[in-house]
Chains A and B, each alone.
Chain A
């Protein structure tokens, strides 16, 4: 019986003009474009310089800042006021204000200062921009002191006892944001395909009235639901595999941990999110309702999953909410396995949580369905 139902589902999916194309286009788009766009490195900060000194040293500083690659040199302003007007007009994001007598002060008094002002409407951009700039100025100062052996570091501590910090970035040595995003994007895709599509399919049958015709046949509920889920489970796993291949070829990203661990988690995760989709489909009579409810949950799940912003930096109450977010667990598992090579043993808490979601959602879906008939 299930065989015939599955045959019908696959026929319908393949016959649909939209779904098969979407299934190919979505992963391609998300995997090829998202990691570049959803990048939290801040670059292209527009810089305006107020050089009151107009000396060789100040020139060199400006050149050094511009050549760092983070900044786009916008203009040289004659005074602070003009520079601020540029910021107001949205032409510049950050101001580097070099005081008059900068070079002279450095040579005679061995100490001087520059002022950095940044537009912090976009907080991340403002903070990161000024910290980049400060780092560059610091570097510049210490290189000056090495060169001249007489000039104290500009912004360092008193007495010139400067020390250097050599950070070592574990697991992602080049701080490549794409490497961090790609595993999470795979989770997003899997959620859409196995969570959304079967739910919409079931609600679609409700809307078309075809579910009535199925309900008067001896087909059991379990068979009907399984026939809806299995095709999307298969498609989900295929797309997931395709994404991993894309990651290898496009981003040279090969999981450090084992593939088996990834697949075990993927399967449990698929069962959990498709269960969630079923719950939504139970309570929706129209596609519009189902779409809206799914959209609502997926927005919250994505924003609170650590996909873009670390869960640890959320306020406490928000962190409690993320406990109920299946995406959070799978995203962190994917990153741990992909980047750190974590083994199954370390991921047991995540595994149990995901199993919990799978059980709760599916039991809820089955009970909910019974009740309404």
Chain B
């Protein structure tokens, strides 16, 4: 049985379609990632699923409860961590946690085992006001507060945006632990390295899901051979590659450019082309596509 089941969900703000006919299922204990650029409709989807707004049409069922008709019951079994820090900044860490435990009619003690791993990081600061915490600690507190009533489904809207790499890593380790306890987690993120840690990911653009699959399947289905190209003058390289007639796509990926070329062409031809353009130290090697490569390709195809 699926934990979250969404069918043909749509939501518009005036003339803008924030969410356009989205359907998907998430099974129990699954870690489901939603990847997409800003404005793709991720937050709208979260707000619909957490009963904060009403859909224009379509339906969503969480653990057998409809988000529109049974919204009160839905609220008891979900945890939501909005993208923006929304705990009480003028209450201390401890007071925030106690408050959210009590409004769910439970106590911190009862579910402490769930949050222990996370909360122990911020416990030394339990008398500090939440507003005075650092970004990473705020996220940990927000996650603790979202978990304190032992939700069955956890919604995390860009939980690691603006958080340092170490805290990000810790945060994801915690999510994997929570997953192992059987909590369904739906998380959105702009970071592709985090996407790999999800069981399945949905690529989202303009309010639509482009594709839903496991990260491995997504990268395996990349249709072209992919080359990483480096040269001495990286600055002009991207433009020159794009200008080349048999280069199909070229994107800058950190220290190299990821390039796909026509089937008729070869790496040697590319090397020769770059040499005539005056590049030295040319390195071209075939690589395995990442989720990001797939995502860029899909965005491009979607745009066409």
Chain A interface (Cβ within 8 Å of chain B)? 1, 4-5, 8, 11-12, 15-16, 208-210, 212-219, 373
Contacts and interface: CB of A to CB of B under 8 A. Distances in A.
Nearest to A15: B90
A65 B78 CA distance: 82
B80 A216 contact: yes
Given A209-B84, A213-B80, A213-B82, A219 B103 contact: yes
B222 interface: no
A219 B100 CA distance: 10
B88 A217 contact: no
Contact of A12 (B50, B54, B90): B90
B86 interface: yes
Contact of B89 (A4, A208, A219): A208
B189 interface: no
A213 B91 contact: no
14 contacts: A1-B105, A4-B102, A4-B103, A8-B91, A11-B91, A11-B95, A15-B90, A208-B86, A212-B86, A213-B87, A216-B50, A216-B78, A217-B100, A219-B103
Nearest to B98: A4
Interface of B is mostly: loop
Given A8-B88, A217-B75, A218-B76, A209 B103 contact: no
Contacts of B104: 217-218
Contacts of B99: 4, 8
A208 B96 CA distance: 15
B15 to A, nearest CB: 20
A16 B90 contact: yes
B51 interface: yes
Contacts of A373: 53-54
Interface of A is mostly: helix
A71 B171 CA distance: 78
Contacts of A214: 103
Contacts of B102: 1, 4
B299 to A, nearest CB: 30
Interface in B66-101: 72, 75-76, 78, 80, 82, 84-91, 95, 99-100
Nearest to B100: A217
Given A1-B102, A212-B86, A373-B54, 20 more contacts: A1-B105, A8-B88, A11-B91, A11-B95, A12-B88, A12-B91, A208-B86, A208-B88, A209-B85, A210-B87, A210-B88, A212-B80, A213-B145, A214-B103, A215-B51, A216-B50, A216-B51, A217-B103, A218-B75, A219-B103
B265 interface: no
B52 interface: yes
B105 A216 contact: no
Contact of B52 (A5, A16, A210, A212): A212
A-B complex: 5 closest residue pairs judged by Cβ atoms: A209-B86, A4-B102, A213-B86, A216-B80, A217-B103
Contact of A210 (B54, B75, B78, B86): B86
Contacts of A219: 103
Nearest to A210: B86
A11 B98 CA distance: 13
A313 B103 CA distance: 54
A200 B176 CA distance: 41
A212 B47 CA distance: 9
B241 to A, nearest CB: 44
Nearest to B81: A213
Contacts of A16: 90
A209 B131 CA distance: 13
Contacts of A1: 102-103, 105
Nearest to B95: A11
B279 to A, nearest CB: 50
Given A4-B102, A5-B103, A218-B75, A209 B82 contact: yes
B179 to A, nearest CB: 21
Contacts of A11: 91, 95
Contacts of B85: 209
Contacts of B103: 1, 4-5, 214, 217-219
Nearest to B84: A209
Contacts of A209: 82, 84-86
Interface string B190-215: 00000000000000000000000000
Interface in B43-66: 50-54
A285 to B, nearest CB: 14
A220 to B, nearest CB: 8
Nearest to A8: B99
B52 A215 contact: yes
A75 B86 CA distance: 68
Contacts of A218: 72, 75-76, 103-105
